[in-house]
Structure 1
Amino acid sequence: MRLLRRRCLSLLAIASCFLLSFLRPHANPCDYPTAGLSTVWTNNPSILRQSVAFPDGASVRAILLRIDPSGFGPSFACGFFRVASCDAFVFSIFIVHSHDGSFITNSAIASPQVVWTANRDRPVGDNATLQLTETGDLVLRDVDDTLVWSTNTSNKHAAGLNLTEAGNLLLFDRANASVWQSFDHPTDTLVIGQSLSEGMRLTADVSAANYTRSRFYLTVFPDGLRAYVDSDPPQLYYRKGITTVKAGSKPTYVTFTNGSLSVFVSFKQPGKPDITIPLTPAESAQYMRFESDGHLRLYDWSAAGWRMVKDLLEVYPDDCAYPTVCGDYGVCTKGKQCSCPSTDYFRQVNDREAKLGCEPLTPLSCEFSHDHDLLTLNNVSYFNYIDTDATAFRSISEESCRTACLRNCSCKAAFFQFGGGNASDGNCFLPSEIFSLQTNQLAISYYSSSAHVKVQRIPLSPASAPAKSPPPITKDIDAGVPVVVILGVGVSLAFVIIVIVFGVRRWKRAEEDGELFDLVPGMPKRFSYKELKEATGNFSKKLGEGGFGSVFEGKIGDEKIAVKRLDWIGQGKKEFLAEVETIGSIHHLNLVKLVGFCVERTHRLLVYEFMCNGSLDKWIFSANRTPVLDWHTRRKIILDIARGLSYLHEECRQKIAHLDIKPQNILLDKKLNAKVSDFGLSKLIDRDQSQVMTRIRGTPGYLAPEWLTLKITEKVDIYSFGVVIMEIVCGRKNLDYSQPEESVHLISLLQEKVKANRLLDVVDCYDDDIKLNEGEVIEMIKLAMWCLQIDSSVRPPMSTVVRVLEGTVGVETSLAYNFVATSTAMSSKDDTLDSLFVPSASVLSGPR
């Protein structure tokens, strides 16, 4: 009986399709809004006949189409929507401009508008399949049969799939009751008649071209509608409450009515049953979208196409009340002007783009929390004052609020709003992350407030007192002075000279024996040569070899270690001292930990934490060019490197330029967390120095163009980091002689491809992992291009790079597409070029 019913449903659907085709001769026979069980759709244009491209670059492969009753105008369809090049698709519901079932594509008004997406965070490729299974589950699988998304309705007896006139995709049972509907799983858009109930949320996309989720979300609470920017904890910037009395425990909900978003509850009237507010029909097609800047915008269809009608969030009084309008730490004035809180402590992330926000000149460091201070900003307030539920303290004094922030290292500011029980008391909000601030406006009475932003004081080193020289001899020796006096003076001078000579010799011996290393503050543990010889089994297990020595596996107690032995003392002595001084005094999750060192006579050894997965090059430069690491792991490794470099450049008392960033100097632990290693070539840069002079050091293929001038900043590391990004993304070396001649130098190839608008040619688009994450891959390459700018002043600071990778800041778009100078593209096989470079310090390569 069940099989007979299914066959009847299928025959009915087929008959309806052909009837629709007869009535509308120009319509596609598959333009039908329902489907039966055991139906499979393959994401292939030769199979899905309704496959069209649009002038703006979008393309759709429709599965179901609900034609507008008039036969002309906006119609709902569902199917595969192409979000970018390289064939990345999301299964979506979209509004298209159709005429008798055919999509109109020859005008700007025809661009499809996506209103719901099933797999926004995980696109699929060509030949992916959508199946309405025999058990009633709607399942999306990628071409490799990987499960991407499902309705999970196999136990709910679904009998078919329907796309309604309102744009709701639903699974229905034999009684035509809904067992699943897209309206219950909104993404970033509402259509007319769609509601949000308590607990539901709209989450904005990262951008118009990136469908992954951003930090903005709109949700429903029992007391009304709220909009947040996600942080720890989330920060509220919009609230719309309810004024009616709720009927028992019935939920609050908001509904998209004609041109507005209304907050409803079922409410009581004396002597009457529960009632709800009826909907008002709309005169034209509409949708509202929660967008990447935190605005909720209403769009309306007209003869000219889609137009933005209004912003439905009544954030008062202007755009300054939105969290990201001026970026982190940016101060917004009159809805459009952005500035930094203070030029003494902050600078713009990008001088040409004030809306990208500001960054501290000296980043906050918990290690130096005793140097924290609060910068009071006059006439400045914060958007989050409306969230009285999230205030850390209530009815306290302003001074207590300031003190609480200074005592909490994670606190980034103290925002105080007057209005407590006493005249001087109020509410205190202590955020762990600061978004945009705003200048006070007299029209807003509740902005009787003050703002105190935490800053890092730059500790001043005590001035070195000038050495006191002996008073000059201004009187000539009298000719009458006895010779014996002269001889006495001569003997005394000889004695002094002898003392000095012996002192110098003793000092040299002390240096040779390592006594001077004890004077370095904060030194790690000092080992004897005998201890390390025993720990490494007489240096029997070599892990790797580099320019200045070799690395051996060892064990002290139960702890594995990696011991670097400098073999070439003549070349490596300075590098050894630099590494001990540098890495011995800094500590960060993404920097390899220096456990200890040894210096005895001619022996120089460094003891590091053991990194069992070796160096990054072993993971990304595979012989068969098959990626060993998935995209998410590669992306995390890039973020780890960026965090380590950000700490070196911006969170230490002196800026530390590593000067040899490359995959061989990035080590991976057992969880594939990446850590920067090998500080033998590092350079300390005072914070008041704009640049330093130094000899060329580093590795060919990773050198920034400014090395040719010998005047460098820490931004040479950022250029090298850009090269490493490209190597990780592309899975090949920057200088790869196994490639065709025109492709030997990866960065030169990138320069050619981006100018030809063929950016993805540098990556393997046949790699399924790349195809699934193509949007992120493109953004990562754009970040690399920002880091590879020839003009070092245009390159982003590493703290900005970290924020880009964390999704809080966008990539600069106004970039020059020249990334290489002539000599940096030269081969490392060039003897002339090689002679200019110091060999790199140890390469801790190989598994360990």
Structure 2
Amino acid sequence: MLLNKASDMVWQSFHHPTDSLVLGQSLMLQHPLTTNVSLPNSSIVSYEFAINASVNYTASLVTYGEPTFTASMVTYGESTASMDPYYVSPILSYVDLEFQKGKFGSFSVPASAKFIQLGSDGHLKAYEWKDPKWEGTDLLPIDPCSYPFACGNYGVCLKEGCSCPVDANENGTTYFKPINYTKPDLGCYAVSPISCESSIHQSFLELQGYNFHPVKKYLISETKTLKECKALCLNNCSCEAFMDTEGSCYFLSGGLSIAKSYSSGYGTYNDNSAFIKVQSSPISQSSNKNVSSPKYTSVIVGSTLGAIFGVFLICAFIILGFRKGFQEVEEDYLDNMLGMPTRFSYEELKNVTKNFSNKIGEGGFGYVFHGTLPPGSEVAVKHLVGFGAVNKSFVAEVQTIGSINHFNLVSLVGFCAEKFNRLLVYKYMANGSLDRWIFYKNQESALRWQIRKKIIIDIAKGLAYLHEGCNQKIIHLDIKPQNILLDENFNAKVSDFGLSKLIGRDQSRVVTAMRGTPGYMALEWLSSVITEKADVYSFGIVVLEILCGRPNVDKSQLGEDMHLLRLFRRKQEEGLLLDLVDQCSDDMQSNATEVVEMMKVAAWCLQNEYARRPSMSAVVKLFEDSNLLDKWQ
């Protein structure tokens, strides 16, 4: 409180809440609750909870950059007067709502509740302590689909859960996929991102019978036809979608929330259609040739097709014979390897995965499916697709981790090498890959500092074992968040050894073709002379991504800030590493000093000269021995 000379209070923090209220605190007009951090795309929207003169309680979606505009999500309170779905600011009044024991205005609150908080998902909850954690009770008894972005950007909210928009014409084209298959409420992403340079290949995905809530909505014309609206949106790169309402054309951009029309509440537009702009793949068209005679045309086409078909058959026989011979040699080779995990038949894995029906991920070499072995243990089955490099990756994976075992390496349960089928069976990791937790998150799901620290140490232990604990030195060569898996307790396991290289204990370095993922590859790849220090460099990049909560290359950033390593080195020179600590986590900010010290260890791993980088065993010792870490600092 701020007092004047007469000890009268002239200002107090209780009148200016952020996202929470405690017992005895009042919510006043013109001082709404505002979420600290919003959805995974936190730069787009935030939420407010306010009161107005009619004692309606209004939760709102706020668009950054347009501070005078809010989109009303729901009105709930004593007055039955309807509210316009868009309003500017509450009318001045003397109505305050005090949070008292068991009540908050007309809301019933649990008697033991200690504070009320507006979450990043727009839910207003009263929290009470139930050992060992705080548990919240939702104060707004409304349909979950009535909250804007309940299913993330471009996610469709349905009674049975969240999904992605699908083509109403059912032509089999998939335009949107979940950001995270295990967490569908994180939203969807476009399979082919919109490209302003390829507008000729853009079309529209129509959705009917839904409610739409855009981050930005502006009227482009009141008289345009549907055809003209489409043409206008296609010619405007900032137009991500448009809505046709009674002859009026509205452009939608900055994100779109979609819900089935049974939902009630926010910005409802029933009986209207929205058209989402999608990027189609270019379709090659055969050029028409002018010929003088249909008779000659038939002869030419027939002869050409016959010749092509003949060459195709000859090549097919040669390739199939070669592949059959190669597969027999490969399968015999795998059978003769000692210490191999269980070998499954293709039919067994087909039954385990229920005919490969539950896809949980996909990558450059194939798809991953969830399955359950007869004893009841859950597994992830990777079905490799392709030849050549895929077969090499398969053999490298089996050969590398088939006979080794470490707590911080993913467990290979078994494999299948049958005819043209190549499958790998791993122990199922309930929390998926690391990138899903550090790049797509909100305040509530952001990993706490101690969990991030443990993940970093787990990765270091796994790499140290590969480099120094095996009979042969194993260089992973593709360390990145997508290849770090997390079990149900957030124990980190290094995975995906398809690009790994085995070298003898007496070898200090190896010459190999360039492999790995751009952004995580050390400078020495330019000479193709590689040591285990290439993994140390990649580890340093991953550590920075974990601590900063952003990818190494972030195209949403401008200029030099797009590249995390470049930004890190600049901030290090300026002594401003605190600026890089993940802003989406209050816990990370509370432990910022310790986080910065971890960044300095990452800098040690990111030196351009590989000989100056530490070994992973030295990094593990540094992390585990606090006295050693203090001395090193």
Under TM normalisation by the shorter chain, which class is it? 0.3 to 0.5
Name the TM-score, length of structure 2 as normaliser.
0.48
Q: Larger C-alpha radius of gyration, 1 or 2?
A: 1
In terms of fraction of residues, the more helix-rich structure is 2
